[in-house]
Amino acid sequence: MKIITVKDPLAGGKAALDIFKAAKERGVKTFGLATGGTPETTYAELVKSDLDFQDCVSINLDEYVGLPADHDQSYAYYMHEHLFKAKPFAASYLPNGMASDLATECARYDQIIADHHVGLQLLGIGRNGHIGFNEPGSPFDGTTHEVALTKSTIVANARFFDREADVPKQAISMGIGSIMQADQILLEAYGEKKADAVAKMVQGPVTETVPASILQRHPDAIVIVDEAAAAKLK
Ligand SMILES: N[C@@H]1[C@@H](O)[C@H](O)[C@@H](COP(=O)(O)O)O[C@@H]1O
């Protein structure tokens, strides 16, 4: 794992832009994308840059169950607002959280992943070490699946909703096995609330109890952290 420590999320976004640029230069055509507060500075840098993604495909990690794409807290809406409206891709895929049959939707998404090899996968990390919506205990070889969100994730994501009760209780997430197939993984973590998860991911045992710890076994994983998120690294 390569660790890049930066002063703050703004500097992190700039460092991430360099990694996207290098990926484009080596011909990456499929980008795995993430949502949440963390990648906002990265998307802002991509939007300001001269990078063009019109010959590329994006595949997002996850989506809430029960939120239509035009709901302002859906990940489809987030991606449109933060990236796609300024930097369109040839095709952009997200799980459909409104699908009537979630098992069929998961199988459809796995086929999309199988058809497009991800060259660079962007990730954030949950306070409990989750990646995508792969909560603690998720199998390391998992594919796309339906998830019951943990209380900790619901509480953490409540800041984006009017009330905690409005946070969906379920999501569809790409599995850890699929995430690990990417040629390169870039995980960003900012702020003191991520310091424990970052220390466990980088220095703890590789265990399904800390989903992100599997990145220790990826041949090309880069972690960008600010000083607050790096505070518990030895
Ligand atoms: N499903 C998302 C993850 O993809 C994200 O990495 C994480 C951290 O979010 P944030 O970046 O807002 O801290 O939580 C959410 O639940």
Known active-site residue 130 = yes
pTM: 0.97
Q: Is the CB of 132 under 6 A from ligand 1?
A: yes
Domain extent for 66: 2-203+218-223
Ligand 1 mean position, distance from CA 132 (Å): 7
* Ligand 1 atom nearest 194 alpha carbon: 13
Among 33, 35, 138, which is best to mutate for testing ligand 1, by the most ligand atoms less than 8 A from CB?
A: 35
Residue 135 lies in a domain: yes
Q: Is residue 213 in some structural domain?
A: no
Q: Is 124 part of any domain?
A: yes
* Residue 234 CB neighbours (<10 A): 5
Assess if residue 228 is contained within a domain.
Answer: no
Q: Residue 15 in contact with residue 230, Cβ under 8 Å? A: no
In the residue annotation, 60 being an active-site residue is answered as no
CA atoms of 74 and 58, how far apart (whole Å):
17
- Say how many domains are in the chain: 1
Residue 230 falls within a domain, yes or no? Answer: no
- Which residue out of 63, 82, 116, 128 is catalytically annotated? 128
85, part of any domain: yes
Q: How far is the CA of 220 from the centre of ligand 1 (A)?
A: 21
Is 232 within a domain? no
ipTM exceeding 0.95? yes
Does the beta carbon of 191 lie inside 6 Å of ligand 1? no
Q: What's the CA-to-centroid distance between 91 and ligand 1, angstroms? A: 23
**CATH number of residue 96's parent domain:** 3.40.50.1360
What's the rounded Cα separation, in Å, for the pair 111 and 89?
19
Active site residue 62: yes
Contact 120, 32 (CB under 8 A): yes
CA of 153 to the centre of ligand 1 (A): 8
Q: Which residues, in sequence order, are CB contacts of 91 under 8 Å at separation 6+?
A: 57, 58
Q: Does residue 231 belong to any structural domain of this protein? A: no
pLDDT in single tens digits along all 234 residues of the chain:
999 999 999 999 999 999 999 999 999 999 999 999 999 999 999 999 999 999 999 999 999 999 999 999 999 999 999 999 999 999 999 999 999 999 999 999 999 999 999 999 999 999 999 999 999 999 999 999 999 999 999 999 999 999 999 999 999 999 999 999 999 999 999 999 999 999 999 999 999 999 999 999 999 999 999 999 999 999
Ligand 1 in reach of 133 Cβ (< 6 A): yes
